[in-house]
């Protein structure tokens, strides 16, 4: 089929057809892929810097990974028998987790959050998970599963997994900003540059807004891979959780397996969660979620009066496993360790920091750059010009990069501002990294000149960008 036939088939046989919400052209059809390189059916070559999330760790079609999948397809899986690949995955997870995390439960894609909530409920006797996600500016935004709590902001998901219920930001009561920190000596509010809301006050305010005490706090990272608004914030929230009889649940679906330059993203924040959610999705579309806990929490959950599979969040088969996905995940973890990809991710992060930081100094379209490892975010800004939308800039940027051979995640329709994610696979070479960054630089230069000509040099002219890079 040629490009026209592909588009005609999509238009005729699918619900969405090839309509693009961003106004861009229809996406290409993949013919073959290897590592970070993708070829389409028209013979064009692309670098994948995160547009296809399944390639985020190992890239596409790693030979060892493909062999493991083929071998896994020859095995008949059944919950009636113990599965060797599933047991190996449990063991490999236990070996790479930070102590005391050791035991794990496997779950289908999207079910891990519900399972983690059930474990927290079984251990604490409370119900539901309050959630928090730090913004790049360090401000903590808390969420609550009760849809009855109204807020001006739209309902947004705060984790890659399916949320327990629609989550809306907790409304900030009037006068919260004026509340004093309960204990400045034990808090981090005065230890970070700039004036930021006190995280202790924000936690207490969010907890007071809950009709019932939550069983735990679900913490998701922002795009830069950090779990707190500045160093020490995540550790403070963990301490506050324990003071209130709650468990800290950390979602590492996007940050695990070395992508931040450490095996787990929470290690940058010097914490160990009570419950860890992780997802293994490594380049062939296969995925399996896992919920990891210490032995004592596993024992409390197993002996609870409310069995996990009967928790109010829905029935789950705790013996479930996908043999092929288990075999693929075990092999992927082995590859990460055997090829020292965690160290390579750290080196990629240093290279991205230097090059994107240099671009931010002379490209006025860049408002901020932050990240670590292979997870970086660049925010585009139109400055003080009300006639230019940052979101439109982001859409234009990703389309232009694709035309030049670089695939980036398309900006979400409900995304705030001009947020651009760059997430090259951990197997990307420095040569390939520079090739992709040269395209980013070229497109930014062309857009910078175009926007600059439109805005002129008066008061509405864009100012040089400032960058914020993780240390």
Averaged over 178-188, what is the pLDDT?
81
Percent of the chain with pLDDT over 70: 75
Pair 154, 310: CB distance under 8 Å: no
In the prediction, which pLDDT does 93 show? 95
Averaged over 328-353, what is the pLDDT?
95
Please state the length of the chain: 471
**Spatial distance between the Cα atoms of 36 and 280, rounded to a whole number of angstroms:** 18
The tens digit of pLDDT for each residue in 57-88 reads 899 999 999 898 888 888 776 666 678 888 99
Adjacent-strand bridge partners of 419:
379
In the prediction, which pLDDT does 263 show? 95
Sign of torsion, CA 182 183 187 189?
A: positive
Q: Which one has a higher pLDDT value, 399 or 153? A: 399
Q: Inform me whether the pLDDT recorded for 141 exceeds 80.
A: yes
**Spatial distance between the Cα atoms of 348 and 1, rounded to a whole number of angstroms:** 38
- Residue 468's pLDDT band (cuts 50, 70, 90): very low
DSSP labels, 224-252? TS-SSSSTTHHHHHHHHHHHTT-EEEEE-
- Residue 425's pLDDT band (cuts 50, 70, 90): very high
Q: Inform me whether the pLDDT recorded for 50 exceeds 50.
A: yes
Q: Inform me whether the pLDDT recorded for 236 exceeds 70.
A: yes
Percent of the chain with pLDDT over 90: 43
In the prediction, which pLDDT does 312 show? 47
In the prediction, which pLDDT does 285 show? 63
In the prediction, which pLDDT does 466 show? 34
In the prediction, which pLDDT does 452 show? 61
DSSP labels, 98-113? PTT--EEEEE-TT-HH
Averaged over 438-459, what is the pLDDT?
75
pTM for this model (two decimals): 0.84
Adjacent-strand bridge partners of 130:
217
Q: How far is CA 267 from CA 84, 174, 352, 426, in A?
A: 30, 35, 21, 18
* Strand, coil or helix: 389: coil
Q: Which tokens sit at 289?
A: 């979620």
Averaged over 276-282, what is the pLDDT?
82
Among 416, 350, 422, CA closest to 381: 416
- Residue 299's pLDDT band (cuts 50, 70, 90): very high
Q: Which tokens sit at 262?
A: 């450490």
Q: Which long-range contacts (CB under 8 A, 24 or more apart) does 143-152 make?
A: 143/167, 143/168, 143/169, 143/170, 144/168, 144/170, 144/206, 144/209, 144/210, 144/214, 146/210, 146/211, 149/209
Among 49, 53, 47, CA closest to 34: 47
In the prediction, which pLDDT does 426 show? 95
Q: Inform me whether the pLDDT recorded for 459 exceeds 80.
A: no
Q: Which one has a higher pLDDT value, 439 or 18? A: 439
The tens digit of pLDDT for each residue in 261-270 reads 999 999 998 9
**Spatial distance between the Cα atoms of 254 and 278, rounded to a whole number of angstroms:** 8
Query: Which of the residue ranges 218-227, 245-254, 286-295 has the most confident prediction, judged by mean pLDDT?
Result: 245-254
* Cβ density class 187-216: b for 16+ within 10 Å, e for less: bbbeeeeeebbbbbbbbbbbbebbeeebbb
In the prediction, which pLDDT does 157 show? 31
Q: How far is CA 16 from CA 10, 19, 396, 452, in A?
A: 8, 6, 22, 36
Q: Inform me whether the pLDDT recorded for 283 exceeds 60.
A: no
Query: Which of the residue ranges 98-102, 311-315, 380-384, 445-449 has the most confident prediction, judged by mean pLDDT?
Result: 98-102
Q: Angle, to 10 degrees, between the axis of helix 295-302 and the axis of helix 112-124? A: 80
- Residue 449's pLDDT band (cuts 50, 70, 90): confident
In the prediction, which pLDDT does 414 show? 53
Averaged over 227-250, what is the pLDDT?
91
In the prediction, which pLDDT does 195 show? 61
Q: Which one has a higher pLDDT value, 459 or 38? A: 38
- Which domains does the chain carry? 3-50+341-451 (3.90.1150.10), 65-338 (3.40.640.10)
| Least confident piece of the model among 120-124, 176-180, 409-413, 429-433 | 176-180
Please list, in sequence order, all residues whose beta carbon lies within 8 angstroms of the beta carbon of residue 281, skipping any fewer than 6 positions away. 53, 54, 56, 109, 287
Question: Side by side, which strands form the sheet with 275-281?
Answer: 103-107, 287-293, 275-281, 247-251, 216-219, 129-134, 140-144, 168-169
Sign of torsion, CA 172 174 178 179?
A: negative
**Spatial distance between the Cα atoms of 152 and 381, rounded to a whole number of angstroms:** 23
**Spatial distance between the Cα atoms of 203 and 243, rounded to a whole number of angstroms:** 12
Among 378, 349, 351, CA closest to 365: 378
In the prediction, which pLDDT does 303 show? 83
The tens digit of pLDDT for each residue in 6-41 reads 777 877 887 765 445 444 556 678 899 999 999 998
Q: Is the peptide bond before 221 cis (omega within 30 degrees of 0)?
A: no
**Average pLDDT of the chain to the nearest whole number:** 80
Bridging pattern class, strands 406-407 and 45-48: parallel
């Amino acid at each position: 089929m040629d490009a026209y036939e592909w588009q005609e088939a999509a238009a005729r046989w699918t619900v969405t057809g090839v309509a693009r919400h961003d106004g861009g052209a229809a996406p290409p059809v993949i013919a073959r892929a290897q590592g970070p390189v993708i070829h389409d059916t028209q013979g064009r070559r692309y670098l994948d810097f995160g547009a296809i999330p399944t390639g985020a760790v190992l890239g596409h079609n790693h030979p060892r990974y493909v062999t493991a999948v083929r071998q896994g397809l020859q095995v008949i899986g059944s919950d009636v028998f113990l599965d060797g690949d599933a047991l190996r995955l449990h063991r490999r997870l236990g070996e790479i987790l930070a102590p005391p995390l050791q035991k794990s439960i496997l779950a289908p894609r999207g079910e891990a959050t519900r399972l983690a909530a059930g474990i927290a409920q079984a251990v604490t006797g409370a119900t539901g998970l309050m959630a928090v996600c730090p913004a790049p500016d360090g401000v903590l935004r808390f969420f609550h599963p009760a849809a009855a709590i109204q807020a001006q902001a739209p309902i947004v998901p705060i984790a890659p997994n399916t949320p327990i219920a629609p989550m809306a930001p907790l409304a900030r009561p009037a006068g919260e900003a004026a509340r004093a920190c309960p204990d400045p000596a034990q808090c981090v509010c005065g230890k970070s540059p700039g004036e930021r809301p006190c995280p202790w006050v924000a936690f207490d305010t969010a907890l007071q807004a809950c009709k019932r005490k939550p069983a735990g706090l679900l913490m998701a990272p922002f795009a830069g891979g950090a779990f707190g608004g500045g160093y020490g914030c995540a550790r403070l929230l963990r301490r506050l959780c324990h003071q209130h009889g709650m468990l800290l649940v950390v979602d590492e679906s996007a940050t695990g397996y070395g992508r931040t330059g450490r095996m787990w993203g929470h290690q940058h924040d010097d914490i160990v969660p009570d419950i860890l959610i992780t997802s293994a999705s490594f380049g062939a579309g296969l995925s399996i979620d896992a919920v990891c806990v210490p032995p004592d929490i596993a024992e409390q959950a197993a002996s609870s009066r409310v069995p996990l599979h009967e928790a109010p969040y829905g029935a789950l088969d705790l013996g479930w496993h996908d043999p092929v996905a288990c075999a693929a995940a075990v092999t992927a973890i082995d590859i990460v360790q055997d090829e020292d990809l965690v160290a390579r991710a750290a080196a990629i992060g240093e290279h991205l920091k230097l090059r994107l930081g240099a671009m931010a100094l002379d490209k006025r379209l860049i408002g901020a750059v932050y990240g670590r490892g292979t997870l970086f975010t660049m925010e585009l800004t139109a400055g003080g010009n009300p006639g230019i939308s940052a979101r439109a800039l982001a859409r234009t940027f990703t389309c232009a990069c694709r035309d030049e051979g670089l695939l980036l995640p398309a900006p979400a329709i409900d995304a705030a501002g001009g947020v651009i994610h760059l997430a090259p696979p951990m197997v990307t070479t420095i040569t390939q990294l520079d090739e992709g960054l040269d395209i980013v630089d070229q497109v930014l230069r062309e857009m910078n000149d175009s926007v600059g000509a439109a805005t002129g040099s008066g008061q509405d002219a864009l100012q040089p960008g400032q960058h914020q890079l993780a240390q």
